[in-house]
Amino acid sequence: MELKRREGESVGSFLHRFTKKVRQSGILVEAKKRRFQRRKSSKLKKRLSALYRSRKRKEVEKAKKFGIPG
């Protein structure tokens, strides 16, 4: 996007006009959406992660049962 300052226009009004244009264009919203987008992980990776979580959960439950902290 390109915006030029009009003749005799103050910096404040130019800045206001610029921010209004940026808001209307939706550039900022799109950039914020894409900022933290992750790549899709493979099925194998998801499966291994789920197995790891369930194994850890069982370990924690067992530790609680025996009164072991952590």
pLDDT band at 70 (very low <50, low <70, confident <90, very high): low
Instruction: Note the pTM of the prediction, 2 decimals.
Output: 0.46
Q: How many angstroms separate the Cα of 68 from the Cα of each of 2, 34, 37, 46?
A: 64, 44, 39, 30
Mean pLDDT, the chain, rounded, equals 91
pLDDT digits (tens, 9 = 90+) for 48-57: 999 999 999 9
Query: Helix H segments across 11-42?
Result: 11-25, 27-35
Q: Residues 34-50: pLDDT tens digits? A: 888 788 889 999 999 99
